[in-house]
Amino acid sequence: MTPSRPAYLIDKLIKNNISKEELKELLANIGDTEMSEEYAEVLEKYFNQLLAENITKKFINDELPE
Q: What would the pLDDT profile of 7-32 be if each residue is shown by its tens digit?
A: 999 999 999 999 999 999 999 988 87
Rounded to whole angstroms, the Cα distance separating 4 from 43 reads 12
Contact 22, 9 (CB under 8 A): yes
- C-alpha distances (whole Å) from 28 to each of 6, 31, 34, 40 are 11, 5, 11, 14
* pLDDT > 60? residue 66: no
pTM of the model as a whole: 0.69
Contact 23, 13 (CB under 8 A): yes
